[in-house]
Amino acid sequence: MLATDGQSYDCRLRGSFRMKGNKSTNPIAVGDKVKFTLQPSDNTGVITVIEDRKNCIVRRSTKLSKQTHVIAANIDQNFVVVTLGFPRTSTGFIDRILVTSEAYHIPAVLVFNKVDLYNDELWEYHNEIKSMYENIGYKCLEVSAKEKINIDVLRAQVKDKITLFTGHSGVGKSALINSVDPDLKLRVGDVSTWSMKGKHTTTFAEIFPFAEGGYVIDTPGIKEFGMVNFSKEEITHFFPEMREVLHNCRFANCTHEHEPSCAVKKAVEEGIINETRYQNYLNILNGREMELQEWETR
Ligand code: GDP
Ligand code: ZN
């Protein structure tokens, strides 16, 4: 555990905590804020309080199991790393991550990386995509890990926050983390004891501190991130621009696909809701999901 004095201490849980975790296989996860008392005898801590989580990423222990494994908690922001060229991230992919992020109550920021590779055509496409997401309220950043464009902005944004980097393989998550803090790799050895290797689990997340404050959470793959269990009716609630109008649909259980007097369809026709976003919504609704192995985090 990293204490407020800046030191890190080996801590253990009192037995009672283990008993109470009825739905979750692990009572404590990376990102949890705790109180502990220090044992003077061996300078280790005993955790007395685990504070309420503002959010957490979970994985079900097995497909059929009701038990969940908490991968990480108290995440302040999800940096969705996107590249519009080399490779091109589809809006379907972006929207799937955004929906998951909304479902987990983790604010998402779109980080467009590799802008050094843009030609005029890609800039035009970029501006179109960017304004689509900005209109919904998502913050967008244009960066280049290679040419160090806006890395100072990125560094300021991660300061004092717990940040998750998501996006498919090859978009530059590692490169961005390294350019925010070039020494992170070197220091990683020091903090390996922070990882929460639950006794009965095979996966675990690690949390790494940035030199100037803040943390990045490293989880072994994003498969978990795509596994939020939401019902069909809930999906529109995770599209902020649809959430705003859906109370005007005639039917309370409207799927916004073919029902009459649908406020979402009307907003699409009027150009208030972007057609691309609506199509991506329909794809998620009908289970036309992308392959989960495409997902990754850093
Ligand atoms: P990850 O799989 O998301 O962690 O991606 P990596 O950080 O491993 O980067 C994938 C590839 O993209 C590497 O060959 C990087 O050198 C390259 N790359 C990363 N960021 C940039 C960038 O801003 N511009 C360019 N041109 N290449 C980049
Ligand atoms: Zn509707």
Question: How do residues 44-76 score in pLDDT, each as one tens digit?
Answer: 999 988 899 999 887 766 666 667 778 889 999
168 within ligand 1 shell (Cβ under 6 A): no
**Distance, C-alpha 96 to centroid of its chain:** 11
Q: Say whether pLDDT at 199 is over 60.
A: no
Q: 171 in ligand 1 pocket by Cβ < 6 Å?
A: yes
Q: Which ligand is nearest to the CA of 176?
A: 1
Q: Average pLDDT for residues 156-183, to the nearest whole number?
A: 91
Q: Is 173 helix (H, G, I), strand (E, B) or coil?
A: helix
Does the beta carbon of 61 sit less than 6 angstroms from any atom of ligand 1?
no
Q: Burial code of 101-125, b = ≥16 C-beta within 10 A, e = fewer?
A: bbbbebebbbbbbbbeebeeebeee
pLDDT tens readout for residues 38-47: 999 998 999 9
Global pTM reads 0.87
CB of 169 within 6 A of ligand 1: the answer is yes
| pLDDT reported for residue 20 | 54
Cα 268 to averaged position of ligand 2 atoms, centre (Å):
11
Distance between CA atoms of residues 260 and 242, nearest Å:
16
* Ramachandran sector of residue 39 (left: φ over 0; alpha: ψ -120 to 50; beta: rest): beta
- Tell how far the Cα of 166 is from the centroid of ligand 1, in angstroms: 13
Kindly state if the Cβ of 114 falls inside 6 Å of ligand 1. yes
Question: Who wins on pLDDT, 209 or 109?
Answer: 109
